[in-house]
Every structure is written in structure tokens, then in C-alpha cells.
A = this chain, B = another copy of it.
């Protein structure tokens, strides 16, 4: 069966007259008769009782007519959904993010996007920068948020936000009295830092900073990013972190500007080849929300 059969059947059933139905369908009456016959033959059912002054539906015809509407509606919905997906209003975006963003960035982005595109399904995965790049490549996520440069071929980045680095100190720390801190003043401090494997770009950036200031940092604890500030607050050492962590309002922690340190860049990363309209919408809104 083809939709043509169902369309023709519906019109004949509504008109109760082959001639009028043919006119409405912009075809001649004989081919219409033939198509209805073909439909009846395929179903093995008589759909109409042909009388002298028109046609009446049989019981199977009545049943078919009542349910044909649902077929056309389902088709309309399918087509509409395809167009909406093209417009980025429908679909699914899987997002990777680093733990340090959980408190200060992602929530705003998700909220803004959900408000704008409520029918795009959002899935978030907390992943280290390294894991994000790998997940992007094999399609487990569609977009990632990382710090530090990304040089992978096949991935495109955009700077979502630039922010200064600051020193995180435990309350009452000797340096906490100072309004701003030089990198060299940290030479003797124990450092808490995320393992290089989780984000080599950021790790190497910090190492470079210290080396430039003339020392190699004493790393007392390598912590996943999430717990980093907790360790600092607990007095294990100091850490160099993006300024936006201030928004966490974590007690027991003091943040001081780091003089001479470069700004860090929060990057949005996605597959260059990914042409999903939902992703495009997401990128657009994410960049706006993070500005």
C-alpha cells in the first residue's frame, strides 16, 4: 500500500462519490476507481458499497477511515520533527565539562539553553580535559569545556571566557594578608595540583610559570580538580586556580590575585565535522551565556 491509496480512499469516503472525489483530487474518475479497486484487492476487503447514486462505506471502510487520520498525523509529526531538528529545536547534545566548571559555568549555560530550546535533550558528563578530547573524537560527547590550548586535528575550539589566575590559600595563611601575590613568593609553598594526565595543558602552564619565576613547585598532593580547593582549605598547600572559583564562595579559602600570570582561557571544543543544528544552537547560546 502507498499513501496515495489512503489519500484517495479518504477523499472518496468523505465525498461518498467517485466523481466529486476525483475532482477534488485533480484526477479523472477512472484512475481513481482503479486505485480504490487496487486498495480493496490488496486488503482483501470491500471498502465501499457502490450504489446507484454514489457510494457508502462498508464496516471495514468505516474502521479504516476512522484510523487513517492517525496515519497522516503521524506522518506530519515525523516531517515536522525533521524540520525542527534541522532548525536545532530538536535533538540531543551531550556535553563534557571539567569539574571546576560544575559550580561556576555549566549551570548557567544549561539553564539558558534549556530555556531557549526546551526540546533539545541535554546530557552532561563530568570528564577531565583529556577524557573530553577522546570522547569528542569517538562521539561519546558532542561538545566539551576545557582549559588550555587544544591542538587536536578534527576539533575546533572557541574561547568562551578569559579570566585571570589567582592563588588559593587556606584561611590565615601567611600570604593571605597581602593584596596581591608574586609567583616567586610561592617558591617555598607546598602545591596542590591536578594530575598532569587529567589536563596536561593546564599542568604545563603552571609548571612554566614557576620555572619562569625561578623555582620548581613542591607538589604535596595531586588531587582531582573537584577536591582541589577542599585540600587547600584543609591546609595541605596552595593552588593556582581560575578566578571564577571565587563564585563558589567556599569558606576557609582565600583567593588573591597572582601578579604577572597570564589569563587562562575556557575553551569550547567540538568536532569540526559535526554539523548538528542542535550543536550549532548550543554553541551560539553557550558563548553568549558565558560572556
A275 within 8 Å of B by Cβ? yes
Q: Which residues of B contact A73 (CB under 8 A)?
A: 74
Which residues in B have their C-beta under 8 angstroms from that of A180? none
Query: Interface residues of A toward B: which range?
Result: 35 or more
| Residue ID in chain B nearest A81 by CB atoms | B63
Q: Are A81 and B59 in contact (CB under 8 A)?
A: no
In contact, B75 and A71 (Cβ under 8 angstroms): yes
Whether A66 contacts B86 by the Cβ 8 Å rule is no
Q: Does A4 contact B (CB under 8 A)?
A: yes
A59–B276 CB distance below 8 A? yes
A45 interface residue (CB < 8 Å to B): yes
- From B71, B82, B277, contact of A64 by CB (8 A): B82
Q: Which of A222-275 contact B (CB under 8 A)?
A: 275
Q: Give the Cβ gap from A52 to chain B, nearest Cβ, in Å.
A: 13
Does A66 contact B43, Cβ atoms closer than 8 Å?
A: no
The yes or no answer to A212 lying at the interface (CB within 8 A) is no
**Which residues of A61-98 are within 8 A (CB) of B?**
61-64, 66-68, 70-71, 73-75, 77-79, 81-86, 88, 90-91
**Interface contacts beyond A2-B3, A64-B79, A71-B78: sample of 9 additional A-B pairs, CB < 8 Å, sorted by A:** A2-B2, A2-B4, A3-B3, A58-B85, A60-B82, A60-B83, A64-B81, A68-B78, A70-B77
